[in-house]
Structure 1
Amino acid sequence: MRHHRIECGVAQSSTPDSIMMDVQGPGRNVKLRIDYITRTMLGNVPDLLIDLLELAAYVYCADQRIGRGSEKLPNFGEDWRRSLHFSIPVRQLDVWQDPEINDLLIQTLGFLSDDSYEFEFRQAQAPAQPQSLYFANLIDGSMENDEVALFSGGIDSFAGAVDDVAINDKSVTLVGHSSSTKVRNVQELLISGLKQRGFERKISYIPVWVSNESERAREYTQRTRSFLFACLGLVVARMSGKDSFSFYENGVVSINLPLAGDVIGGRATRTTHPKVLRGLEGLFSALLERDIQIRTPLQWLTKKEVVLRIRDAGFSDRLAMTVSCTRPRKWTGTQKHCGVCSQCIDRRFAVLAAGMGDHEPADSYMRDLLLADRSSDDDLRMALSYVSFFQRLGSTSKERFLIDHPEIVPALDRFPGLSAEEAGTRLYSLFQRHAKAVEDVIANAVTKHSRSLFRNELPSGSLLAVCFSRGHVEVAPAPDYDTRTKAFIDRLSAPILEFAVDGRGKRVLFRGEHSLDGANFRMVEALIENFRRAKAVDEEIPFMASVDLADRLGLNDQSMRQQLRRLREALEPLVVSLGIPLDQDTFIQTKERSGYRLNPALREVSMADIRSESALLSKA
């Protein structure tokens, strides 16, 4: 893992290899600007939200500036993940130094981008940058609304806006982020189209510009963009006196399962993953000391079903104006979709599955989804992985669904109002419907182009030709499939994390051959005495004060909290190996002003029990 120090708001870096970033002054290299808000709204922005805006801008711009290396690395674990240490000036130092805020920030961003984060906050020196720096083109009058929603200009965000305005009869303030004029032009064109259809009084648009200045982006995937987007949504919502805002994104993209074996971790983006959204809600609620909610009204729709929402609302003629491709540098006046990236592939399948191909010409894509030659570079592999993945998923049973796709497990307990079992059932139905849509597109295209396929007239590297020639490949289940499925579902319905302590070997053992040692073991060792004593007499397990735990470990308070974060990260593989949803309190609980303890729901067992079942599970 490569380490990077990002020093923000400084005139001179402390080390030669530090990255300097600033939103103000002669050294400004981060642009942050929010347009077209009312003067009244501006007066509602507290210093804490200005701090949050600056922090989000720094994180997003650093993410773009710091590359991860080649995206074709077959095993990129150590080379792909980055360790990012930020030093940031803030106006409300006491709030940002709160351990709970720091933990929520680190854990949410860590899961979102698959990087390791550290934040060092310091008091902003006078004169702190005034609010007005970031708010241009102020307008008079009010901007009242029923909803605040994030607007990217893609199919999902347009469908969500149409649904709220035209179907649900709501007034909506749309917050659009862009880092290029091309993206902003798309958003403005769509907004203008809505207003021309008689919804001018129901639509207000607040464009936001956040980008690096004089620095070319090296990492185009923008994994932290949703953090920036959510922070912008929160700021505008609070300026409007609201405690909620909406992300318009379909559920298949939200979960975003990896389509290929090497598309994992940071490369399988988690922009609106339920775990990320619940983490953001927790962070925002803790910051503002009020209940903040992030709504996802399209969560249980596939992309095809989202396209049909646009059709049913009478906006089919606007479909081609939406843009889903995340590579604006490649756009031309007539082609704004590369046709190669996963977003373009996903979009085109949805449009064709919805029977809306006539409303979006194939030549608006630089590479036709089904008929173009994709044999160069990695283009065919991306498209074929997409089809193959949903082909396999379409023939997967409900019982097998979670076993084959353990990446779903962290999302199961993150849907408000649904049990893990209910969420699993709904996700299975969602992905089955999407898989059926992909299958229908391929089947219809084979029928339509059957003569060309028979005559070998299509490029051999086209997606349709490859799908036609390869046929179906079935993955055989493990010999003990039924037994392992039952064990997995039993653990999911009533998850209990069991562990054993190997005192001689200085390790904490878990099923599946996972263990904690070194500094992680010493932290568990410091807390195990209270755990055992209380369990033996069936009493409440006491918390150990932060200062006492730090003293027992021989660390200062900040180092102790960093060690706790590393311990929690070390447990993440248990999500996959055991199918147990984890959050920050699953193993070691934290309680403000009380301290730390091992979670009372844990179960300590013998080393023999752990080793015997681990040996059984390892047999395939």
Structure 2
Amino acid sequence: MNMVRYVGKTQCDDGAYRRAVDNLEGVLIDWVSTSPNATVSFELDGKAVAPELEGTLLDFTDLGIFIYLADEMVSRAKATDYWTRAIRCLVPVTEPAKWRENQLLLSNTLGLLSGDIWQFDWVPLLFPRSVSRHRQQLPHGFDTVCLFSGGTDSLLGAVQLLREGRKVILVGHQSEGQAASAQKELAEKLCSMFPGKICLVQCRVARSIRKIPEFNLAKKVERSHRPRSFLFLTLGIGIAVRCGIRDVFMPENGLMALNIPLQKSRTGALSTRTAHPSYMINFADLARRITGFDGHIRNPFLTQSKTDMLSGLDPVLSPLVLRSISCARPSRFNDKGVRHCGYCVPCIHRRFALTEAGIDSACHYAFDIFNDFRSTDVSKQQDLRAVVRFATNIANASVTQLQALILSHGYFPPTVGSLIGCSETKDYTPWTDMVQNWARDLLNKLAAVTSSSTRLSLGVPDSGQRIVR
């Protein structure tokens, strides 16, 4: 499918762009006209703000927005292999030559992230786009940007940075109501704990609710949102460069960052490279080449599982952790008064990690998969079964097998710790140890916290019996 970034009727006179606008060739994505089919807005601590990005930096962040919206309109179900899509994009930019020089890197980075084939045609803008102005501007005097989803990992990452004495701009993307409200709630709590040291910038990207936009937008048919991380990072880089900040953090527990497929059939939909080391290396290189960003993009939890992160949790942070969101589908159970389904892979990881911290409670989940497993319908049992099988295989794997598994979802050099982590790494031992310790700990916890009927269904020995060698 062909996607076109609309920049106005007089901003670009390229023939292909003119034909697309005049003859409605392809899907025009528009958030700049007076009747847009998409909306983009920013808030600083709950009040409207204009980032005032310009030139190539504006093109960079706009590309993240464009990719996010384009992804929603191309169904994987119609692809030849029911997954890999071919998406061609016509994008007017300030410096087309720079983008052409880095097109292969961009296509490979997006392909690594989403599993699709991305092709681009770069055409020149006739003159720089006008930048929206607002009474409230981005803050000054901050030294760190931390991507903030409202989840446990980003919360703990923000706390760690604040306790190091940093002044942190949290950057959140409002994809849906629950995540947006969690970001605001947690940011307010952190502001009270670290006054003057933190602020929250949120970006909302959505389809317009206008009944008659200037250009009709194709229906939203894809909900996997694999390129969401690209939007998240382009926003973070845009704000960092605009504010003169060189340190950007993307907190994600190391196990989920590796995101090893639980089984071969899950290599597609449930295995994303959102914070995979190879993706982060590629993105950092792209940001440097396009925007001139000369700082670092780091994951402070590169070699830690969520269980590692919550081990020895400061009791002061317990209420905040419980209000964070991990669920893959948080809005589905608003009527139950909970934010977590309880049975998706992120919820399962969360429950085991909160058990480590001593603060897990079934009342926070729509379904108590640990104790009501057999009474839960089969579709909701699948993820826990897959996690248990995966952990069982990992628990007794050799170092060679573990290393092969770690690299199976994308190669990265063993020295990557100094590039995108917070400490040096010389070999793959930190990752093999993390993965195997997580697996063994999970199986032992499973035996201790689940009902006997659940253990029987999953084939897990009772507590006290030897589970792993």
TM-score range normalised by the length of the shorter chain: 0.7 to 0.9
- Mapped to 2, the partners of 1:40 and 1:401 lie a distance apart of 47
| 1:426-445 superposed matches below 5 A | 426-445=430-449
Q: Given the alignment of the two structures, is residue 164 of structure 1 paired with residue 161 of structure 2, yes or no?
A: yes
1:136 Cα offset (Å): 5.8
Could you say what secondary structure the match of 2:408 adopts? helix
Taking a change above 3 Å as real, the CA distance of residues 210 and 260 of structure 1, as seen in their structure-2 partners, is: same
Q: Given the alignment of the two structures, is residue 312 of structure 1 paired with residue 314 of structure 2, yes or no?
A: yes
Could you say what secondary structure the match of 1:411 adopts? coil
- Mapped to 2, the partners of 1:78 and 1:421 lie a distance apart of 38
| 1:51-130 superposed matches below 5 A | 51-69=59-77, 78-97=81-100, 99=101, 101-125=102-126, 129-130=129-130
Structure 2 counterpart of 1:190, from 186, 191, 211: 186
Contact 1:353 1:438 in 2 (8 A): no
Contact 1:249 1:298 in 2 (8 A): yes
- Mapped to 1, the partners of 2:402 and 2:179 lie a distance apart of 37
Structure 2 counterpart of 1:151, from 148, 153, 158: 148
Could you say what secondary structure the match of 1:201 adopts? coil
1:86 Cα offset (Å): 0.5
1:383 Cα offset (Å): 1.3
Taking a change above 3 Å as real, the CA distance of residues 409 and 92 of structure 1, as seen in their structure-2 partners, is: closer
| 1:285-296 superposed matches below 5 A | 285-296=288-299
Contact 2:395 2:439 in 1 (8 A): yes
Structure 2 counterpart of 1:277, from 276, 280, 291: 280
Contact 1:150 1:248 in 2 (8 A): yes
1:205 Cα offset (Å): 1.0
Unaligned runs of 5+ in 1: 71-75, 475-620
Identical-pair percentage: 25
Deviations 1:92-122 (A, max 9, x none): 323223x2x1111111001111100101111
Could you say what secondary structure the match of 2:248 adopts? strand
Q: In structure 2, what is the equivalent of residue 255 of structure 1?
A: 258
Q: In structure 1, what is the equivalent of residue 200 of structure 2?
A: 205
Contact 1:84 1:117 in 2 (8 A): yes
Unaligned runs of 5+ in 2: 10-18, 210-216
Contact 2:111 2:118 in 1 (8 A): yes
1:67 Cα offset (Å): 2.2
1:84 Cα offset (Å): 0.6
1:20 Cα offset (Å): 2.3
Q: In structure 1, what is the equivalent of residue 363 of structure 2?
A: 363
Name the aligned partner's letter for residue 43 of structure 2.
D
Q: Given the alignment of the two structures, is residue 23 of structure 1 paired with residue 31 of structure 2, yes or no?
A: yes
Name the aligned partner's letter for residue 440 of structure 1.
N
**TM-score, normalised with respect to structure 1:** 0.65
Q: In structure 2, what is the equivalent of residue 138 of structure 1?
A: 136
Could you say what secondary structure the match of 1:34 adopts? strand
1:46 Cα offset (Å): 2.9
- Mapped to 2, the partners of 1:300 and 1:345 lie a distance apart of 19
- Mapped to 1, the partners of 2:305 and 2:245 lie a distance apart of 29
Name the aligned partner's letter for residue 33 of structure 2.
G
Deviations 1:430-464 (A, max 9, x none): 10121122112212125xx4xxx3xxxx5xxxx54
- Mapped to 1, the partners of 2:51 and 2:331 lie a distance apart of 33
RMSD: 3.1
Taking a change above 3 Å as real, the CA distance of residues 61 and 40 of structure 1, as seen in their structure-2 partners, is: closer
1:64 Cα offset (Å): 2.1
- Mapped to 2, the partners of 1:235 and 1:405 lie a distance apart of 31
Pairs aligned (count): 439
Name the aligned partner's letter for residue 167 of structure 2.
S
Q: In structure 2, what is the equivalent of residue 613 of structure 1?
A: none
| 1:215-234 superposed matches below 5 A | 217-234=220-237
Deviations 1:345-368 (A, max 9, x none): 2211211233221xxx31221111
- Mapped to 1, the partners of 2:298 and 2:443 lie a distance apart of 30
1:212 Cα offset (Å): 2.6
- Mapped to 1, the partners of 2:370 and 2:260 lie a distance apart of 22
More displaced 10-residue stretch of structure 1: 55-64 or 31-40: 31-40
Could you say what secondary structure the match of 2:334 adopts? coil
Higher relative contact order (CA 8 A, sep 6+): 2
Q: In structure 2, what is the equivalent of residue 467 of structure 1?
A: 458
Q: In structure 2, what is the equivalent of residue 50 of structure 1?
A: 58
Q: In structure 1, what is the equivalent of residue 212 of structure 2?
A: none
Name the aligned partner's letter for residue 163 of structure 1.
Q
Taking a change above 3 Å as real, the CA distance of residues 416 and 323 of structure 1, as seen in their structure-2 partners, is: closer
1:26 Cα offset (Å): 4.4
Larger Rg: 1
Deviations 1:150-197 (A, max 9, x none): 0000000000111111x3122211111112233211111001111223
1:48 Cα offset (Å): 0.8
Taking a change above 3 Å as real, the CA distance of residues 115 and 420 of structure 1, as seen in their structure-2 partners, is: farther
**TM-score, normalised with respect to structure 2:** 0.85
Taking a change above 3 Å as real, the CA distance of residues 137 and 150 of structure 1, as seen in their structure-2 partners, is: farther
Contact 2:406 2:431 in 1 (8 A): no
Could you say what secondary structure the match of 1:24 adopts? coil
Could you say what secondary structure the match of 1:284 adopts? helix
Q: In structure 2, what is the equivalent of residue 340 of structure 1?
A: 343
- Mapped to 2, the partners of 1:465 and 1:222 lie a distance apart of 36
Could you say what secondary structure the match of 1:422 adopts? coil
Q: In structure 2, what is the equivalent of residue 552 of structure 1?
A: none
Contact 1:113 1:266 in 2 (8 A): no
1:34 Cα offset (Å): 2.0
- Mapped to 2, the partners of 1:423 and 1:67 lie a distance apart of 40
Contact 2:224 2:269 in 1 (8 A): no
Contact 2:3 2:26 in 1 (8 A): yes
Taking a change above 3 Å as real, the CA distance of residues 161 and 209 of structure 1, as seen in their structure-2 partners, is: same
Could you say what secondary structure the match of 1:314 adopts? helix
- Mapped to 2, the partners of 1:289 and 1:154 lie a distance apart of 30
- Mapped to 1, the partners of 2:302 and 2:180 lie a distance apart of 25
